[in-house]
Amino acid sequence: MLYLKKIVWAFVLLLGVMPAIAQDTHFSQFDAAPLYYNPALAGVNECHNRIYTNYKGQWRTYNTFLMSYDQHLEKVQLFGGSIGLGALVVADYSGENSYGTTQVKFMPAYHYNMGRLRISAGLDAAFNLMSINEDKLVVGKNINPLTGEYTTGSELENTTRFYFDMGLGLNGQYFITRKLPVNVGVTLFRFFGSGGGGLAVASQDSKENYRRFSMNANAVCPVSPKVTLLPSLIYINQKMYNEMNFGSYVKCAVGEYTPVIDAIYIGSWYRVQDALILGLAFDKPINKNWTLQFGFSYDITLSSYREANKWATSKNVGGDSFEFSLKLLNCRLPILVNPEGIVNDPFR
């Protein structure tokens, strides 16, 4: 319990960094999208295969899809360390004009063990395509200031934009005991390349505007043979915008009582000055190699964004959002699957 208190206090101290304001594409179930936030996590768990899918819907207008794959290359050794490979696809689109970005990322990572400590580094090579349907776009000149009636259509100089970026992630995983791993990582996105920006932003200005820094931290803290705490935290900074999420799952092993699932997870997180996130998940081994994990979360907006986004159309109602995640894991020991579920996966 002493270790648990130290971990909790460390997370609390980190909360004082800065207030949060939403930015960019982000996931409430950030621990279910590890490669999206840190490329150094590619292949970190010595899993033969990991497949993650995520869907986030927000205010019935913003929709984000993610699919990632990574694995540990067991037979490849380099300078005494090992290699992990990962890749993901993200599609983020919003509004009736389908404005958004599609990203394809490739993430090679290097892992080096030093006793109980594993140091990892990964590259984030991103190919990005931004687009918009200008036939459905509404601009100021198309709105009647007296009646509020509007027409669609505009003539933009660019309706698509392709750019390349590269980032760097670092991660440290330390096993206080065999069942008590602590994980901390940092990532700098858009460190090289054009930096994105937007359809109306000049490429020479976009790098400084859209560089992004993130820090991830989590741990696995057994309380009893049947109950485990899974605290997690993420901090994101993008120029003037900051976001901080923190909270925990409580995992309860139920494999002895039901043949349907082996473990159930109930949790909550707080996005500072923005929202309360409620989460529910379960895992079930589907054969001797593969484990299925399903998660659902719901964001209850607590800030002024809740009122500001109650727009007067049936397609844009409310300030809340929801998210689904689905994982397929093919991992080897020492990850324990039965009868307690996955008890020492530090990225659950």
Residues 22-43 have pLDDT tens digits of: 346 788 888 889 999 999 999 9
Q: Is residue 344 part of a domain?
A: no
pLDDT at position 240: 78
Q: In terms of Cα–Cα distance, which of 112, 124, 212 is closest to 172? A: 112
59 belongs to a structural domain: yes
Other CB atoms within 10 Å distance of the CB of residue 191: 17
What pLDDT is stored for residue 177 in this prediction? 86
Any domain includes 73: yes
> How many angstroms from the chain centroid is the CA of residue 190?
17
- The boundaries of the domain holding residue 294 are 2-331
Q: What is the pTM of this model?
A: 0.78
Contact of 330 with 300, CB cutoff 8 Å: no
Count of structural domains within the chain = 1
Domain assignment present for residue 86? The answer is yes
Stretches where the chain sits below pLDDT 50 are: 2-23, 200-207, 209, 311-318, 333-348
* CATH number, position 119: 2.40.160.60
One-letter amino acid of 38: N
Q: Give the pLDDT score at 58.
A: 76
> For 95, which DSSP code?
T
DSSP H or E run through 243 = strand 241-253
